[in-house]
Amino acid sequence: MKIIMLGAPGAGKGTQAKRIAEKYGIPHISTGDIFRANIKEGTELGLKAKEYMDQGLLVPDEVTIGMLLDRIHQADCKNGYVLDGFPRTIPQAESLNKALADMGEAIDFAIDVDVPDENIVNRMGGRRACLKCGATYHVEYAAPKADGVCDACGSGLVLRDDDKPETVQKRLTVYHDQTQPLIEYYKGQGVLHSVDGTQAMEAVFESITGILGA
């Protein structure tokens, strides 16, 4: 079962991807994790990626796809995987499709977690993070026991720059320009399924498992 998660930043696709991976016993693969693993291991592709990242440049698609293909051919992927954060653009999707087709494989499901922009701005604006231990909270959905204080280590919580409304709006603009066209692309491939991401987290997961099959 090869699954791609789609949705705007803050739509909750990462959370759902982890739950899918747990339920179906397949790995949750994010490009960030792949980059970190390759850089740590000092692989040829990892060193190439680091060159670009150190200059603040985007890692070229061929390097990213090379690392991704290495990852999905590891033993734990034999029953499938959940891709989170890749592809982000049509060229990336086409390259992935071609690479899989060359091996007689294909994506089975592209799950779009659909949430309107205004919900995302409100949702991300409520996030709070502990910079000391990395714990995350939400003032509405997962509030700390004491307002503004981390349950785990007692440090103060902050609203990260990434979660400020103006930053979120910029990220959404990039998403609509570059990534949203993937919805039409995968619809054309006959593998797209949309779920209402404004529902409670459990209801979203139930919608997804209804599509994937229990």
As annotated, the active-site residues are: 13, 88, 127, 160, 171
Give the Cα separation of 65 and 24 in Å (integer).
24
Sheet strand arrangement including 127-130: 136-138, 127-130, 157-158
Tokens of 172: 């959404």
**Largest alpha-carbon pair distance within the chain?**
54
CA distances from residue 213 to 126, 145, 187, 192, 208 in whole angstroms, order as listed: 33, 37, 19, 15, 8
- Is 113 strand, coil or helix? strand
